[in-house]
Amino acid sequence: MGKIQRIGILTGGGDCPGLNAVIRAVTKTAIFHHQLEVFGIEDGFLGLIENRIRQLTPLDVSNILTLGGTILGSSNKADPTRWRDTPEHDPCDVTDRCLHHIEQHRLDALVCIGGDGTMSGAANFIHLGVNCVGVPKTIDNDVHGTDVTFGFGTAVTVATDALDRVHTTAASHHRAMVVEVMGRNAGWIALHAGVASGADVILLPEIPYDIDKVCQRVVERGQYGKRFTILSISEGARPVGGGQVVAQVVKDSPDPIRLGGVGKVVADQIQAKTGIEARATVLGYVQRGGTPIPADRVLGTEFGHAAIELLMSGAQSRLVVMKGRTVTDIPILDAANKQRLVPVDHPLVEAARDVGTDFGD
């Protein structure tokens, strides 16, 4: 591999608090410390397909640390191996087009910021000889190989605040209040926010629930004087022997299934089976928006700096990760096409059970 002089940076998948902290750290470390040229690729892999690539300066990334989202834009539909120029056309492989644009801009390496889908896309380019370094991003905290992703802390903070706020309404009206949070197939947000808010019931994708046991818990609370129940439910939660609730199918997306609606299903079942009023609130995209909490800004800065230092050390095809309290790295290929799920015997699950939290099982 020749000397690295010009790098590209892209943010793939969904938006996430802390993305701009990574962009800032990558760009400023590359320019100030290593005298590199940095090029921003707009809208993730879509910008690589359409050749929307522009040079970034320190001025471009100044005063963005507190901004949510990404100044480069993002896309969760742009898979170069299955690209549709129009919805009517069959998907085709435009990877060669992307390689041409990388060569045209003389990019020696790519910094790919994203979740498991983005790392899968990066793996495709790695197999074709492109040096990629990955930075794990997702509010779901489900990237394989890292203990934490930036954006997760902000999402948990938003979800915890929502659970705290419905507490008063639940108590005033003697209701079961369900808060449905994001997470896809991983229950990390529901678990952490549920524990932080003292939720009485937490339902996770990894632990199928029995609705009768959930209802039993709601009724039992009323019998000993607690006439309300707070439930933290992951969008991917599913009953024993049943499937997840699908909100919609996005046919032109590499990940077409969009989960959502289980909160209302559970609330309706609680009310029908117990006679206790139940209401559901779906947080949705508010968990992904707004100003990142300080911890996510710090983690994003650490990850972005580490990505450049990895490249300049001669490392190739690595993913920056956090293990314990240490920033380190693993092969990107180890994280591609995998999800980090909540182990059913996770210490936080066990701690929650021991303080009386019900998981519907």
Model confidence pLDDT, tens digit, residues 144-196 = 999 999 999 999 999 999 999 999 999 999 999 999 999 999 999 999 999 99
| Distance separating alpha carbons of residues 154 and 293, to the nearest angstrom | 5
Amino acid residing at 294: P
Q: Beta partners for 233?
A: 180, 203
pLDDT given for residue 53 in this prediction: 97
> What beta strand segments (E) does the chain contain?
6-11, 37-41, 53-56, 109-114, 132-136, 176-181, 201-203, 229-234, 246-249, 257-259, 278-282, 318-323, 326-331
At residue 99, the 3 state secondary structure works out as helix
Q: Give the chain's mean pLDDT.
A: 93
Question: pTM (2 decimals)?
Answer: 0.93
| Distance separating alpha carbons of residues 124 and 304, to the nearest angstrom | 22
Per domain, the residue ranges of the chain are 6-150+292-335, 153-288
pLDDT given for residue 252 in this prediction: 66
Active site (catalytic) residues: 140
CB atoms within 10 A of CB 33: 12
99 Cβ contact list (under 8 Å, min separation 6):
125, 128, 130
Q: Which CATH topology does 6-150+292-335 take?
A: Rossmann fold (3.40.50)
Taking only the tens place, the pLDDT of each residue in 273-306 is 999 999 999 999 999 999 999 999 999 999 999 9
Q: Identify the CATH assignment for 153-288 out of 3.40.190.10, 3.30.70.260, 3.40.640.10, 3.40.50.460.
A: 3.40.50.460
Angle at 137 between CA 152 and CA 314, to 5 degrees: 135
At residue 27, the 3 state secondary structure works out as helix
Q: Identify the band that residue 333 occupies on the pLDDT scale cut at 50, 70 and 90.
A: confident
The pair phi, psi for residue 352, each rounded to 5°, is -65, -45
pLDDT given for residue 78 in this prediction: 85
6-150+292-335 and 153-288 in the same fold: yes
Q: Does the pLDDT at position 2 exceed 90?
A: no
Burial class of 52 by CB neighbour count within 10 A (0 to 12, 13 to 18, 19+) = middle
